[in-house]
Amino acid sequence: MARVVLESLTKHFGDVVAIEDLNLEIEDKEFVTLVGPSGCGKTTTLRIVAGLEKPTSGHIFFDDEPVEHLPAQVRDVAMVFQSYALYPHMDVRGNISFPLRMMKTPKDVINERVTWAAQLLGILDLLDRKPKELSGGQRQRVALARALVREPAVFLLDEPLSNLDAKLRVTTRAEIKKLHEQLQKTFIYVTHDQAEALTMSDRIAVLDQATLQQFGTCQAVYDQPVNQFVAGFLGTPPMNFIDCSLGACDGQSVLRWGDVTCPVPEKLIGQVDRYNPSTLVLGVRPESVLVQKDFEAEGITSTVYVVEPLGSDQLVTVEIGDTLVKARMDPDIPFSSGEKVKVNLAPDRLYLFDKAGGKRIGTTRVP
Amino acid sequence: MTRQPSTTPLRYRVPWKKIAIYAMAIIVGIYILAPFTWLIITSLMVEVETLEIPPHWIPHNPTLQNYRAFFDPEFRGLEMQRGTMAYSGGSVQRMRPALRNSAVVAFSVAILNLTIGSMAAYSLARLRFRGSRPLLVFYLGSRMLPAVSIIIPMYMILRRLGILDNVLSLIISYTTLTLPFSIWILKSYFQTIPRDLEDAARVDRCNWLNMMIRVFLPVAAPGLVAAGIFSFLISWKDFLFALMFTATDASKTIPVVVAEFVGPGQTPRTLMATGGVLAVIPPLILALIFQRLIVQGLVAGAVKG
Amino acid sequence: MTYSTYEQGTSAVKARKAPRAPSESRLAAILNTPAVILILVLLAFPIANSLWISLHRYDLKRPGDTPFIGLKNYTDALSSDAFWHSLKVTGLFAFFAVLGVTATGIAIALLLNESFKGRGILRSLILLPWAMPPVVNGIMWAWIFNGRYGAFNGLLYDLGLIDAYRLWLTDIKLAWVVLVFAYVWNQLPFVVIVMLSALQAIPNELYDAARVDRANTVQAFFNVTLPWLWQALLIVLILQTMGALRIFDIVYVMTSGGPGNATDVVAWLTWRTAFQFLDFGKGNTYAIIVSVITLALAVLYIKVLLKRGEFAV
């Protein structure tokens, strides 16, 4: 139906490289999110898939047919823009029916589709209003309806939620996901919000600085990041990174930083011999850090730096050997600044990265 | 800490500033309206009354006969000095065709400005191409030159084209004169339209022309109206070119006919005033209705330049 | 869903170095063609032609006899008393007209920037004088300033400011006053609108800061308002000067260059020379000299004022 393949896609704007050699295979009916910081090339990629920009080189295939030469108006895509791009001089009905009218669809089919789309998005009562009379959330639904109504092969969504307030964002996220399930079409979604990406997608493509960092299922990308960027980008609060160096102590491998010596499983060390053992980065997620009030327990000695209660949990930042590490803890345990505690890093949730280049050397996390 | 009461005794402080402002506002209002009003008053007078010293601020015998003279060719009941009838009668007759000519010219110029101007303005606002800078300078530079310096050659060209004494000559020349400013206004306005709209239209199956007609131009309507009204008004007001390029009723526009009132022979002031009022009504109405847009256009054209 | 038969791409797509696809340039070329043709034919060409004619003796009273005479027309003009007188009259008029319209315009703009009841109405009325065709404007003011029956005389007399009616338009010293009045009234709206929009662009915090710094109204004007206005002022001065140097309509209907040659402005002289004396060569020469002066002034204004307004915005 609509398998989208990007092959060696490159886009230059004059001297600026927006996308460099991007390769991506998106299966039919998949919900794929392109995620990354501003300027990473995700919106440009989306626009190229839409046909709004021509790639400098590379190919795009829709179901094995090359489409990179086709202008936007003949590609079988629909797009929802960040600013919604509703036509201000038409009412909602006019906006939604616009693409159908451009394709010279017969009137009764138009009415049928418009009603269907409006109903699906709960905006039947807004059909006669003008965009300027609508709230942000309503406008967004109209933009979605306009995209739906053509039943295209591929849906492209460019940060559709970023102009909504936080609460609306969360509820609309779920609705879009539901929409995807109902429609059973290919969705390509762009956002800079990693939480959005994780909650909605089947697979995530993480981009940074015009290149694809990693492409895989949410779990895979979260648990098995290929480099420090991906590891640090996904997850809130982000993964803790500790600069350290490799050493040995009593025949066991240890990682050293500050005055801390931390024994680590051999599995983690893996292939350090290929890298410089004195510039390593230890990665551990806040949910894998255990802070214990009981000073007699086993663990690394540290001091509590600051406590941030969140209601559902609390974030305890501890100082371990000059490095600050955040831990996510049960909200009922009372911690206070300056308290002396013992810290455990879950041995089966550790990551080791090469400081130069950020590549992942090894991990104890089992996929 | 408790607040200390003000040491100055509470006396009634005269709001000098407010008084000055309202006074000035009234003066300005009078300054703007008085000349018009006087023109209108004069047009409602009987000619002898205009010769009263000191002038009557309010007509003692207001009458509409001056207006009738313009619109009713059969009307003869006008008391006028002999000998002036023939001359001013002629001019009076010419008002109606002149009004028609002016309307045709101004309207055509507006339309031409909008079509040709939008095209050029769109390219300058949206497309990136080598030569957009020099083109912009070209359009702007052409605004800088006084009409007098080109009128003679223009006259010769139009004569060769055989369209002198034809509204066409005015339409073409006015369009040329107003185009640079229209392009400037339109370009500024087009630049404020979000590009997303055009992208959405493209994804919604529009080719460029469709996109312009269905999406871009409707959204740009205020800018278009401003440019259109502007070129309309400029065309309506022009005198020099109309004087040069027209000879008979077939093409004479309002300013030319009105200027003919001022000439040898004593044209009754009342008729002149009436002619003046008639000449002014269309642009005034347009200015009043569209004044917000005209202001926006002027500002865009002048300040943002 | 069928795709239009574009080139079904092959795998060898060469990297395109050009920043924009060729179709954009093509579209741009098509879009600009009508405008460029029109302006070239009816503006650029006539200007060049005008220059060419000015280098010949082109007198319609002697058709066919149009020898190239180089700069003789120019030297004749520059040594012609009539021309210099005309320049002087025009310059004098332009000076007072621009001064008058700019000062009045700024004053009214300042007024309209304050909030008071009825401001909206005043703002909509302010455009009206501009809508009036200059010829009608001229006739109107000629009537108001009429020596025998004019309203202005009547007003001044009633107010006791004069004891006898003045013959404005036939008095060599006063005729140009009337012209200035007429011009100022007609052009005021433009100045007001431009200056008002510039005033409204000034952020309010600056005034607040000035007030905290104990500045009174006058000081605030000179230190906050004025610096922000230079750019708008520049535009106004250039356009008004250009306009004032070119006046023709009001001279035609009000004074015909008179009394005598008291109001023989350059545009009038040019018109007379070309269309009454039928000396096209000389006429064009005058026009070109005026154009050069106008451009020079524009450049001067830009140099002087642009520096002042550099910091704003």
Q: What is the 3-state secondary structure (H, E, C) of chain A?
A: CCCEEEEEEEEEECCEEEEEEEEEEECCCCEEEEECCCCCCHHHHHHHHHCCCCCCEEEEEECCEECCCCCHHHCCEEEECCCCCCCCCCCHHHHHHHHHHHCCCCHHHHHHHHHHHHHHCCCHHHCCCCHHHCCHHHHHHHHHHHHHCCCCCEEEEECCCCCCCHHHHHHHHHHHHHHHHHHCCEEEEEECCHHHHHHHCCEEEEEECCEEEEEEEHHHHHHCCCEHHHHHHCCCCCCEEEEEEEEEECCEEEEEECCEEEECCHHHHCCHHHCCCCCEEEEECHHHEEEECCCCCCCEEEEEEEEEECCCCEEEEEEECCEEEEEEECCCCCCCCCCEEEEEECCCCEEEEECCCCEEEEECCCC
Q: Confirm or reject contact between B139 and chain C (CB < 8 A).
A: yes
Q: Is B236 exposed, middle or buried (0-12, 13-18, 19+ CB in 10 A)?
A: buried
* Contact check, Cβ <8 Å, C45/B157: yes
CA of C8: which chain A residue's CA is closest? A66
Instruction: Tell me chain B's radius of gyration from C-alpha atoms.
Output: 26
Nearest alpha carbon to residue B80 among B279, B278, B265? B265
Looking at residue B177, its pLDDT comes to 87
My answer on whether A70 and A180 are in the same domain is yes
CA of C6: which chain A residue's CA is closest? A70
- In a mutagenesis test of the B interface, which of C24, C51, C111, C139 is the best target, namely the one with the most B β-carbons within 10 Å? C139
Q: Is there a domain that residue C292 lies in?
A: yes
Q: Please state the length of chain B.
A: 305
Q: Is there a domain that residue A232 lies in?
A: no
Q: Confirm or reject contact between A263 and chain B (CB < 8 A).
A: no
Residue A92 has pLDDT above 90, yes or no: yes
Q: Is there a domain that residue A210 lies in?
A: yes
Looking at residue B75, its pLDDT comes to 56
Instruction: Work out the mean pLDDT of chain A and round it to a whole number.
Output: 89
Choosing from A167, A202, A226, the residue where a domain stops is A226
C133, C141, C231: residue with CB nearest B236: C133
Residue B77 has pLDDT above 60, yes or no: no
Q: Which residues of C touch B154 (CB under 8 A)?
A: 42, 46
My answer on whether A182 and A281 are in the same domain is no
- Sequence-distant (6+) residues with CB within 8 A of B153 are C45, C46, C47, C49, C50, C53, C284
> What CA–CA distances, in Å, run from A326 to A304, A316, B18, B203?
10, 6, 63, 46
Q: Is there a domain that residue C63 lies in?
A: no
Looking at residue C9, its pLDDT comes to 30
Which residues form the domain of C107?
72-308
Q: How many angstroms from the chain centroid is the CA of residue B29?
A: 21
Least confident of A164-178, B36-50, B211-225, C157-171: C157-171
Rounded to an integer, what distance in angstroms lies between the CA atom of residue B250 and that of residue B98?
Answer: 8
* Contact check, Cβ <8 Å, C4/A14: no
- With tokens 């299966």, the residue in question is A27
- The answer to whether the beta carbons of residues A300 and A260 sit under 8 Å apart is yes
B135, B287, B298: residue with CB nearest C32: B135
Torsions phi, psi for B252 (to 5 deg):
-65, 135
Q: What is the mean pLDDT of residues B134-156?
A: 77
My answer on whether A327 and A205 are in the same domain is no
Give all chains having 3 or more CB-to-CB distances under 8 Å with chain C. Answer: A, B
My answer on whether A263 and A213 are in the same domain is no
Give all chains having 3 or more CB-to-CB distances under 8 Å with chain B. Answer: A, C
Q: How many angstroms from the chain centroid is the CA of residue C174?
A: 23
* Contact check, Cβ <8 Å, B51/C141: no
Nearest alpha carbon to residue B241 among B226, B230, B224, B253? B253
- The answer to whether the beta carbons of residues C291 and C69 sit under 8 Å apart is no
Which residue type occupies B172?
I
Q: Confirm or reject contact between A76 and chain B (CB < 8 A).
A: no
Instruction: Give me the total of CB pairs closer than 8 Å, taking one residue from chain A and one from chain B.
Output: 62
Rounded to an integer, what distance in angstroms lies between the CA atom of residue C91 and that of residue C74?
Answer: 19
Which residue type occupies C271?
W
Instruction: Give me the total of CB pairs closer than 8 Å, taking one residue from chain B and one from chain C.
Output: 263
Residue B115 has pLDDT above 90, yes or no: yes
* Contact check, Cβ <8 Å, B299/C194: yes
My answer on whether A222 and A244 are in the same domain is no
My answer on whether A268 and A146 are in the same domain is no
Which residue type occupies A37?
P
My answer on whether A221 and A292 are in the same domain is no
Choosing from A197, A226, A255, the residue where a domain stops is A226
* Contact check, Cβ <8 Å, B199/A81: yes
Token representation of residue A365 = 């996390």
Residue B9 has pLDDT above 70, yes or no: no
Looking at residue B76, its pLDDT comes to 52
Q: Which residues of B touch A98 (CB under 8 A)?
A: 201, 204, 214
Looking at residue A308, its pLDDT comes to 93
Instruction: Work out the mean pLDDT of chain B and round it to a whole number.
Output: 80
Q: Is there a domain that residue C258 lies in?
A: yes
Q: What is the mean pLDDT of residues A140-162?
A: 91
Looking at residue B2, its pLDDT comes to 52
Q: What is the pLDDT of residues A118-147, one digit of tens each?
A: 998 889 999 999 999 999 889 999 999 999
Rounded to an integer, what distance in angstroms lies between the CA atom of residue C285 and that of residue C277?
Answer: 14
Q: Is there a domain that residue A231 lies in?
A: no
My answer on whether A212 and A346 are in the same domain is no
* Contact check, Cβ <8 Å, C246/B284: no
My answer on whether A303 and A179 are in the same domain is no
Number of domains making up chain A: 2
Confidence of residue A1 (pLDDT cuts 50, 70, 90): low
- With vertex at residue C58, the alpha carbon angle to CA C57 and CA C64, rounded to the nearest 5 degrees, is 105
Q: Is there a domain that residue C51 lies in?
A: no
Residue B25 has pLDDT above 60, yes or no: yes
Number of domains making up chain C: 1
Token representation of residue C173 = 């010293």
Q: Which residues of A touch C13 (CB under 8 A)?
A: 55, 57-59, 68
Token representation of residue B60 = 């003692």
My answer on whether A206 and A284 are in the same domain is no
Q: Is there a domain that residue C198 lies in?
A: yes
Token representation of residue A16 = 């600026």
Which CATH number does the domain housing residue A260 bear? 2.40.50.140
Least confident of A145-154, B51-60, B85-94: B85-94
Secondary structure of residue C13 in the 3-state scheme: coil
Q: Is A117 exposed, middle or buried (0-12, 13-18, 19+ CB in 10 A)?
A: buried
My answer on whether A208 and A276 are in the same domain is no
Q: What is the pLDDT of residues A14-58, one digit of tens each?
A: 888 999 999 999 999 999 999 999 888 899 999 999 989 889 999
Distance to chain A for C22, nearest Cα, Å: 12
> What CA–CA distances, in Å, run from C232 to A170, C154, C225, C236, C243?
48, 38, 12, 6, 16
Q: Is there a domain that residue C33 lies in?
A: no
Looking at residue C2, its pLDDT comes to 30
Q: Is there a domain that residue C119 lies in?
A: yes
Q: What residues are paired with C307 via a beta bridge?
A: none
Confidence of residue B265 (pLDDT cuts 50, 70, 90): low
Rounded to an integer, what distance in angstroms lies between the CA atom of residue C197 and that of residue C208?
Answer: 20
* Contact check, Cβ <8 Å, A51/B202: yes
Q: What is the pLDDT of residues C42-57, one digit of tens each?
A: 888 888 888 887 787 7
Q: What is the pLDDT of residues B182-202, one digit of tens each?
A: 898 888 889 888 989 999 999
Residue A224 has pLDDT above 70, yes or no: yes
Q: Confirm or reject contact between A113 and chain B (CB < 8 A).
A: no
Q: How many angstroms from the chain centroid is the CA of residue C251?
A: 16
* Contact check, Cβ <8 Å, B202/A72: yes
Q: Is there a domain that residue C115 lies in?
A: yes
Q: What domains sit in chain B, N to C, each tagged with a CATH number?
A: 18-63 (no CATH), 94-302 (1.10.3720.10)
CA of A152: which chain C residue's CA is closest? C1
Distance to chain A for B181, nearest Cα, Å: 26
Sign (positive/negative) of CA torsion B95, B98, B104, B107?
A: negative
C-contacting residues in B 216-245 (Cβ below 8 Å): 233, 236-240, 243-244
Instruction: Tell me chain C's radius of gyration from C-alpha atoms.
Output: 27
Choosing from A200, A226, A252, the residue where a domain stops is A226
Rounded to an integer, what distance in angstroms lies between the CA atom of residue B51 and that of residue B35?
Answer: 18
Give all chains having 3 or more CB-to-CB distances under 8 Å with chain A. Answer: B, C
Q: Is there a domain that residue A234 lies in?
A: no
C9, C15, C21: residue with CB nearest A66: C9
Q: What is the pLDDT of residues A247-304, one digit of tens each?
A: 888 878 888 888 888 888 877 777 777 777 778 898 999 999 999 888 888 888 899 9
Looking at residue A145, its pLDDT comes to 92
Question: What is the CB neighbour count within 10 angstroms for residue B104?
Answer: 15
Task: Note whether ipTM > 0.95 here.
Answer: no
Token representation of residue A297 = 């327990």
* Contact check, Cβ <8 Å, B123/C31: yes
Which residues form the domain of A262?
240-363
Q: What is the mean pLDDT of residues B249-257?
A: 85
Which CATH number does the domain housing residue C233 bear? 1.10.3720.10
Q: Is there a domain that residue A107 lies in?
A: yes
Q: Is there a domain that residue A235 lies in?
A: no
C-contacting residues in B 12-71 (Cβ below 8 Å): 17-18, 21-22, 24-25, 28-29, 31-33, 35-36, 38-39, 42, 50-55
- In a mutagenesis test of the B interface, which of A46, A54, A67, A73 is the best target, namely the one with the most B β-carbons within 10 Å? A73
My answer on whether A98 and A154 are in the same domain is yes
Looking at residue B223, its pLDDT comes to 87
Q: Is there a domain that residue A233 lies in?
A: no
Residue-level pLDDT, tens digit, chain C, 313 residues = 332 222 233 222 222 222 334 467 788 888 888 888 888 888 888 888 888 877 877 777 777 777 777 788 888 888 888 888 888 888 899 999 999 999 999 999 988 888 888 888 888 888 889 889 999 998 888 888 887 777 787 777 777 777 777 777 777 778 888 889 899 999 999 899 888 888 888 887 888 888 888 878 778 777 777 777 877 888 888 888 888 888 888 888 888 877 777 788 888 888 888 888 888 788 888 888 888 888 888 778 777 766 654 443 3
Residue B300 has pLDDT above 50, yes or no: yes
Q: Which residues of B touch C249 (CB under 8 A)?
A: 239-240, 255, 259
B197, B199, B204: residue with CB nearest A99: B204
Q: What residues are paired with A308 via a beta bridge?
A: A315
Q: What is the mean pLDDT of residues A90-99?
A: 92
Q: Which residues of A touch B216 (CB under 8 A)?
A: none
Nearest alpha carbon to residue A161 among A200, A114, A130? A200
